[in-house]
């Protein structure tokens, strides 16, 4: 691709899409398989950014050390894929933000730890597949955030570099990946930020409380980096 004048890369779950309702519903489905009552949604929401591992721990207190973990994970993901967009939706203001990105002459893409086929299915169901962007899955790469490789791959696909790229996410792993890739980070405070997380320690250029703050901040950050 031709090098963009400016590029914003986004995390997916908890940043662009509120996918927690469907992730939690699948977690409660798993509880039902063991005759357990469903947990209230607020008890599981903050674990949504941690994928299947986080949701299985939140719902069943089951982790990778359990001998049945992989089979439970497969069962969970199969149910989730079948119901991936029943309750999920872009966060309020996200679609308007993406329109503002295009109006400002910027490009955008997605860098997520979600499995690629699930990420693309979720994006397609929400009309969020970037027309000229990318959907990079760290899971598919075998190199998860906070490793920098997924962000670096997103920049490569976008024809961008650290001087004209910003990464936006709602997790400390997102901040770590951005720092390791040498790009500024904007923290999405509206996402699945754990209650005990000290977001001020993430080294963010901005802690954004709503999507409408992203484009003006990105333009200022990119301007300052160009000197």
- Per residue of the chain (227 residues), what is the pLDDT tens digit? 334 489 999 999 999 999 999 999 999 999 999 999 999 999 899 888 888 999 999 999 999 999 999 999 999 999 999 999 999 999 999 999 999 999 999 999 999 999 999 999 999 999 888 776 899 999 999 999 999 999 999 999 999 999 999 999 999 999 999 999 999 999 999 999 866 678 999 999 999 999 999 999 999 999 988 76
- Rounded Cα distance between 61 and 222, Å, is 43
Q: Is residue 161 annotated as part of the catalytic site, yes or no?
A: no
- Rounded Cα distance between 120 and 126, Å, is 10
Catalytic residue among 11, 18, 22, 170: 11
- Rounded Cα distance between 73 and 52, Å, is 6
The closest alpha carbon to 126, from 14, 17, 45, belongs to 17
Q: Is residue 171 annotated as part of the catalytic site, yes or no?
A: no
Catalytic residue among 13, 18, 22, 174: 13
């Amino acid at each position: 691709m031709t090098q963009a004048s400016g590029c914003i890369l986004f995390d997916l779950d908890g940043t662009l899409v509120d996918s927690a309702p469907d992730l939690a519903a699948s977690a409660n489905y798993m509880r039902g398989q063991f005759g357990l009552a469903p947990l209230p949604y607020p008890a599981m929401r903050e674990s949504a950014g941690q994928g299947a591992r986080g949701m299985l721990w939140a719902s069943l207190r089951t982790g990778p050390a359990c001998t049945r973990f992989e089979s439970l994970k497969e069962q969970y993901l199969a149910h989730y894929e079948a119901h991936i967009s029943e309750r999920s939706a872009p966060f309020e203001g996200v679609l308007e933000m993406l329109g503002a990105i295009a109006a400002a002459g910027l490009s955008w893409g997605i860098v997520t730890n979600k499995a690629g086929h699930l990420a693309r299915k979720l994006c397609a169901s929400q009309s969020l597949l970037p027309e000229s962007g990318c959907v990079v899955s760290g899971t598919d790469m075998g190199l998860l955030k906070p490793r920098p490789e997924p962000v670096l791959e997103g920049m490569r696909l976008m024809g961008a570099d650290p001087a004209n790229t910003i990464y936006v996410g709602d997790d400390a792993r997102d901040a770590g990946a951005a720092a390791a890739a040498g790009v500024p980070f904007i923290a999405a405070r509206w996402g699945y930020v754990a209650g005990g997380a000290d977001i001020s320690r993430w080294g963010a250029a901005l802690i954004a409380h709503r999507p409408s703050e992203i484009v003006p901040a990105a333009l200022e950050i990119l301007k300052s980096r160009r000197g």
